[in-house]
């Protein structure tokens, strides 16, 4: 087959890129691999990063330090990763806040273009909770209550992020209105839910579980693709009322854009294998989180879908991105 002039000119660049990718994978890692957690210590993302760091360090033969770079809802630490070299030595463990932040803030990076997506690590559903005196006990009853012109408006507690956007998306799809009551954290909202001062909250299962188990909260539905193992008798919103609805918090390993594909595949395989270790899976189950893994292309598609879903919900609700800080 004849070789065109364009192909001949492109061949050296292609060979150079292939050679670089091979070297990047073959020599990796040549120094410590840091995992940035752009949140404060103690959350699921931080715990996941510290749990997988040990087996990764043993496999790679290099230290894997975990650095907490909290601030601006995760934007500060995530920006550090976006500006790092694409050699696999700087990673981050982010949450659903990564795509959700694009709905709230004018970001110093592009949520999709400035990152390589390594693997999902965890999925944690939300649970719709209410106080014992709140009348509705099912999603259908909640919607009927919101449509009742004789009743006061339904209020929901939110703390920003997906905990605010999930009830907005639910209301949009159900054709109802609910009034947002902001809180700085879920623990601040819980007493008002118990007392009936605020009607409902879409909270994470780990945050609400003890109150559900004690009877202080009643669980109306969970929002994962399947029932939460910790709440096996509580139906999902999808099965009980709204097929296809899913809203979860999650964890994910990402890196800077343009990590060579062979190295990205290695990072995905190694990080995925680490998080699926039985002892790490058991630790997450105790936290109310399910471990998972995904290939880079699948991970990228997942983030794009989340970006589209939450961005659309925010725009329809009139939420305008503000300056980050």
pLDDT of 26 reads: 67
Q: Residue 14: its pLDDT value, please?
A: 46
**pTM, rounded to two decimals:** 0.88
Q: In the structure, what pLDDT confidence band is assigned to residue 25 with cuts at 50, 70 and 90?
A: low
pLDDT band at 287 (very low <50, low <70, confident <90, very high): confident
- Asked if the domains at 31-124+248-323 and 125-240 fall in one CATH topology, the answer is yes
Per-residue pLDDT at 2: 43
pLDDT the model gives residue 324: 85
- CATH tag, 31-124+248-323: 3.40.190.150
pLDDT at position 12 is: 52
pLDDT score of 94: 98
Res 1: pLDDT? 39
> Residue 123 pLDDT more than 60?
yes
The residue-averaged pLDDT of 298-323 equals 96
The length of the chain, given as a count of residues: 325
322-323 and 248-256: which strand pairing?
A: unpaired
Domain limits, the chain: 31-124+248-323, 125-240
Share of the chain above pLDDT 70, in %: 92
pLDDT at residue 141 in the model: 98
**More confident: 4 or 127:** 127
In sequence order, what E strands does the chain have?
34-37, 66-68, 90-95, 105-106, 115-131, 154-158, 178-182, 200-204, 217-222, 248-256, 290-291, 322-323
Which pLDDT score, from 0 to 100, does residue 207 have?
Answer: 92
Q: What is the reported pLDDT for 20?
A: 47
Do residues 228 and 222 lie in contact, with contact meaning Cβ atoms separated by under 8 Å?
A: yes
DSSP 88-131: SSEEEEEETHHHHHHHHEE-SS-TTTTEEEEEEEEEEEEEEEEE
Asked if residue 3 has pLDDT above 60, the reply is: no
Q: What are the C-alpha distances in Å from 195 to residues 199, 208, 214? A: 9, 15, 15
Q: Would you place residue 172 in the very low, low, confident or very high pLDDT band (cuts 50, 70, 90)?
A: very high
As a whole number of angstroms, the distance between CA 58 and CA 64 comes to 9
Mean pLDDT across the stretch 277-285? 96
Least confident window among 10-19, 149-158, 237-246: 10-19
Cβ proximity of 292 and 122 under 8 Å? yes
Coil, strand or helix at 303: helix
Q: Which residue has the higher pLDDT, 43 or 221?
A: 221
Architecture of domain 125-240: 3-Layer(aba) Sandwich (3.40)
Per residue in 177-228, pLDDT (tens digit) is 999 999 998 999 999 999 999 999 999 999 999 999 999 999 999 999 999 9
Q: What is the mean pLDDT of the chain?
A: 92
CA angle at 49 for the pair 45 and 53, rounded to the nearest 5°? 175
pLDDT tens per residue, range 76-119: 999 999 999 999 999 999 999 999 999 999 999 999 999 999 99
Residue % of the chain over a pLDDT of 90: 88
Cα torsion through 138, 144, 147, 152, rounded to 10: -70
Confidence check: pLDDT of 7 > 90: no
pLDDT of residue 27: 87
| pLDDT score, position 298 | 98
Asked if residues 87 and 298 have their Cβ atoms less than 8 Å apart, the reply is no
Whole-angstrom distance, CA of residue 106 vs CA of residue 196: 36
């Amino acid at each position: 087959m004849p070789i065109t002039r364009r192909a001949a000119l492109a061949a050296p660049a292609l060979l150079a890129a292939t050679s670089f990718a091979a070297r990047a994978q073959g020599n990796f890692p040549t120094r410590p691999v840091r995992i940035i957690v752009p949140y404060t210590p103690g959350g699921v993302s931080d715990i996941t990063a510290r749990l997988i760091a040990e087996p990764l360090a043993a496999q790679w033969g290099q230290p894997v330090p975990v650095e907490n770079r909290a601030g601006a809802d995760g934007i500060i630490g995530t920006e550090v990763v976006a500006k790092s070299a694409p050699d696999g030595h700087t990673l981050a463990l982010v949450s659903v806040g990564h795509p959700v932040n694009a709905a709230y803030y004018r970001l110093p990076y592009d949520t999709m273009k400035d990152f390589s997506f390594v693997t999902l690590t965890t999925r944690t559903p939300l649970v719709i909770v209410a106080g014992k005196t709140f009348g509705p006990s099912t999603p259908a009853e909640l919607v009927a209550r919101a449509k009742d012109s004789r009743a006061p408006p339904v209020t929901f507690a939110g703390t920003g992020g997906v905990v605010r956007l999930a009830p907005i998306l639910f209301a949009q799809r159900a054709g109802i209105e609910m009034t947002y009551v902001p809180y700085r954290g879920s623990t601040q909202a819980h007493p008002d839910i118990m007392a009936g001062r605020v009607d409902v909250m879409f909270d994470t299962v780990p945050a609400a579980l003890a109150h559900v188990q004690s009877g202080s909260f009643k669980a109306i539905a969970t929002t994962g693709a399947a029932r939460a193992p910790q709440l096996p008798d509580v139906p999902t919103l999808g099965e009980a009322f709204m097929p296809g609805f899913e809203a979860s918090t999650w964890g994910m390993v990402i890196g800077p854009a343009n990590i060579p594909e062979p190295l990205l595949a290695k990072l995905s395989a190694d990080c995925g294998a680490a998080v699926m270790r039985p002892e790490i899976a058991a630790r997450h189950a105790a936290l109310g989180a399910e471990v998972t893994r995904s290939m880079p292309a699948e991970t990228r598609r997942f983030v794009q879908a989340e970006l589209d879903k939450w961005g659309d919900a925010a725009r329809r609700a009139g939420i305008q991105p503000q300056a980050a800080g």
